[in-house]
Amino acid sequence: MRQQPAIESLRAQIEKIEGRARRVKSVLPFGIADIDARLPGGGLPLGALHEIAGGGNGAVDGAAAALFAAGIATRTKGKVLWVITRSDLFAPALAQAGLPPDRVIYVEAGNDKTVLACVEEGLRHGGLGAVVGEVARLDMTTSRRLQLCAEGSGSIGLALRRWRRQSEAVDFGQPTAAATRWRVSVMPSAALPVPGVGHHRWLLELIRVRAGESADFEVEACDGSGRLAVPAELAHRPASTAGWRRGAAG
């Protein structure tokens, strides 16, 4: 999307009228042109709350969503607070996504209410790089409060949505005040000429972004430095297929 100067100046005017004391809005780009083009500012805004949920079985186990969150958190500066209710997060996997164990402080909270309270404390503090909270329910008022805390401090807040049963995942349709909303679903890995499992692949859906359109992307799971990658056959496709679509696999 080419930036249009008229719309940009209109946006700047609206922000001035809104009058909220904002910090200089810095962003965390993904490094993939297609994704960064969809996000206002060219990246994931720091100082905001983002929601991540898993699709399919990931709504219950939250495995891919956790790695996606870890990939974002590892590229911020400072310690990361990870608030959990179920003790099934495996730290070596986070280390393989680029988040070394020294950087993460885990908080075991008994229920959703305590998780959200701890996330709020972490965001308000301002000395952390990222705060990740695993919750099932997130309503509009709480998300609004967390968004304001994140704006005030400049830390990035990641609400990892995880439910007990897949049927409860319908709750993800409820509106919240998060700046962006993502769903990560697993996809078959890259085909290899030899037996084995190739790079893990995800279907990354940007369900909602403030002042932007939703889109979905097929990406390779984050590597040892937390970065996503474009799958090889899509990156090196012939020039004729300009706007790619998620076609039939293989």
Partner 1 sequence: MVRAADAAAVAAGARVGMPAAKARILVQGLVVRDHDAAADAQGLDRLALWALRRYAPIVAADSPDGLVIDSTGADPLHGGEEAMLAGLIYRLSSSGVRARAAIADSWGAAHALARYATRPVLIAPIGHGDSVLTGLPLTALRLPAAMVAALHVLGFERIGDLLAQPRAPLTLRFGPQLGRRIDQALGILSEPIEPIRPDELIEVRRNFAEPIGAAETIARHIGELVVQLCAGLEAEGLGAKRLDLICHRVDDRVQAVRVGVAMPVRDVKRLTRLLTDRIDTIEPGFGIETLSLAATLAEPLTEKQTLTAMVDDGAPDVSDLVDTLVNRVGEHSLYRAAPVATETPERSVRRIPPMAPDTGETWQGRWPRPSRLLPSPEPIETMAALPDHPPVAFTWRGVRRRVRRADGPERIRGEWWRRDAELTAVRDYFRVEDDAGERYWIFRSGDGEDPNSGSQRWFLHGVFG
Binding-site ranges for partner 1 (CB under 8 A): 56-58, 61-68, 70, 78-79, 81, 87-97, 100-102, 104-110, 114, 117-118, 121-122, 125-128, 184-189, 192, 195-198, 200-202, 221
The count of other CB atoms within 10 Å of the CB of residue 96 is 14
3-state secondary structure of 117: helix
To partner 1, the closest distance from the beta carbon of 3 in angstroms equals 34
To partner 1, the closest distance from the beta carbon of 94 in angstroms equals 7
To partner 1, the closest distance from the beta carbon of 69 in angstroms equals 10
CA distance 27 to 36: 10
3-state secondary structure of 53: strand
Total residues found in the chain within this entry: 250
Shorter beta-carbon distance to partner 1: residue 2 or 77: 77
**Nearest one of 187, 128, 130, 186 to 159, comparing CA atoms:** 130
To partner 1, the closest distance from the beta carbon of 124 in angstroms equals 9
To partner 1, the closest distance from the beta carbon of 221 in angstroms equals 6
User: Which residue has 């949920």 as its token pair?
Assistant: 53
Shorter beta-carbon distance to partner 1: residue 69 or 230: 69
To partner 1, the closest distance from the beta carbon of 6 in angstroms equals 40
Shorter beta-carbon distance to partner 1: residue 49 or 81: 81
Shorter beta-carbon distance to partner 1: residue 151 or 220: 220
User: Phi and psi for 242 in degrees, rounded to 5?
Assistant: -75, -70
Shorter beta-carbon distance to partner 1: residue 68 or 163: 68
Shorter beta-carbon distance to partner 1: residue 175 or 188: 188
The count of other CB atoms within 10 Å of the CB of residue 181 is 22
User: Which residue has 């002042």 as its token pair?
Assistant: 211
CA distance 214 to 133: 24
CB-based contact 119:168 (threshold 8 Å): no
Shorter beta-carbon distance to partner 1: residue 41 or 190: 190
What are the C-alpha distances in Å from 55 to residues 195, 202, 218? 27, 10, 14
**Nearest one of 132, 128, 148, 129 to 140, comparing CA atoms:** 148
CA distance 237 to 145: 44
To partner 1, the closest distance from the beta carbon of 186 in angstroms equals 4
